[in-house]
Amino acid sequence: MRLISGLKNTPSRLAILSVLEKGKYPLDALQVYKAVKNNTDLATVYRTLETFSENGLVDKFDLEEGKYRYEIKKKHHHHLVCEACGRIEDIFSNDVFALEKEIKSKYEFLVKRHALEFFGLCRSCQK
Amino acid sequence: MRLISGLKNTPSRLAILSVLEKGKYPLDALQVYKAVKNNTDLATVYRTLETFSENGLVDKFDLEEGKYRYEIKKKHHHHLVCEACGRIEDIFSNDVFALEKEIKSKYEFLVKRHALEFFGLCRSCQK
DNA sequence: ATCCATGCAAATTTTTTGCATTTGT
DNA sequence: ACAAATGCAAAAAATTTGCATGGAT
């Protein structure tokens, strides 16, 4: 299968990682839990996702849904969230970094990370 | 006191609005509830905050804390969140709009709103 | 052998909802 | 009066935690 950084290589972890790798869009904990066909406890799913996030294997983020979503790690990016159909699309633009520099000098705030999500209507939902 | 758009002017609403106006930083529902000194039910606080948000009196947003925060409406802005002390500061820069335009043409996605939060260390927590 | 991971159950936290009653306009 | 707002209690949803057991290295 696949090794995971320095962590123990358990069946649950492999299964969860596989689910995330196959995921076409970011999943929440319950979706992951169901996808591994209940062979793993929900608490374990949460703990594993947290571990993966801490170890840089997945990205954890928040789309203002009252819960978190998890996505296999990829190049730094943001999301387009359709308010009509819920479709989530990746965008890899990063003009935000210019803003970050400005913040650093103007506010003397050390930016370590940022979250940027766009909400609106995807192409097909505009019709 | 103060009138609220076309809504009923109740003591609870006035109290909640007043708390938000005096707030130096964005508050969560429980903080608002405590600030009105339990003269109002928590459920009412939630319903009122939601109503205020829908009517543009307050901004509701999400700082990846597993809960929402509410802030009296002001000029469009974003937040700097210190990961050490939790301090939340407003920033009014908006270079993000250029990005939005790009998204519109490139992805044909209609952006209705976006959320941008910066996380890091504020000036005093860098020492 | 030793930690670490897991399952199970219970608890926590945030938010929502139903319904009868009260209140603002 | 009448629709809207509130309190109270209960439920829902997401996430976390304690603890004994099992498993990976």
- Assess whether pLDDT exceeds 80 at residue A27: yes
pLDDT of residue A3: 59
Q: Taking a contact as any Cβ pair under 8 Å apart, which residues of chain B between 53 and 92 contact chain A? A: 61-62, 64, 66, 68, 80, 82-83, 89, 91
Residue A112 vs residues A42, A57, B69, B86: alpha-carbon distances, Å? 30, 18, 21, 14
Average pLDDT over residues B4-27: 92
pLDDT of residue B53: 96
Nearest nt to the A66 alpha carbon by C1': D14
Q: If pLDDT is split at 50, 70 and 90, which confidence band does B77 have?
A: very high
Q: If pLDDT is split at 50, 70 and 90, which confidence band does B127 have?
A: confident
Q: Do B80 and A103 touch (CB under 8 A)?
A: yes
pLDDT of residue A93: 86
Chain B neighbors of A29, CB-CB under 8 A:
none
Chain A neighbors of B119, CB-CB under 8 A:
111-115
Nearest chain A residue (CA) to B92: A103
Q: Over the stretch B8-19, which tens digit does the pLDDT of each residue have?
A: 999 999 999 999
For chain B, percent of residues with pLDDT exceeding 70: 97
Q: Over the stretch B55-70, which tens digit does the pLDDT of each residue have?
A: 999 999 999 999 999 9
Residues B63, B85: Cα–Cα separation, whole Å: 14
- Assess whether pLDDT exceeds 70 at residue A1: no
Phi-psi region of B7 (alpha: psi -120 to 50; beta: other; left: phi over 0): beta
pLDDT of residue B55: 95
Give the CA-to-C1' distance from A6 to C15 in angstroms.
38
Q: If pLDDT is split at 50, 70 and 90, which confidence band does A49 have?
A: very high
Q: Give, as ranges, the nucleotides of chain C with any atom within 7 Å of a protein CB.
A: 4-10, 13-18, 23-25
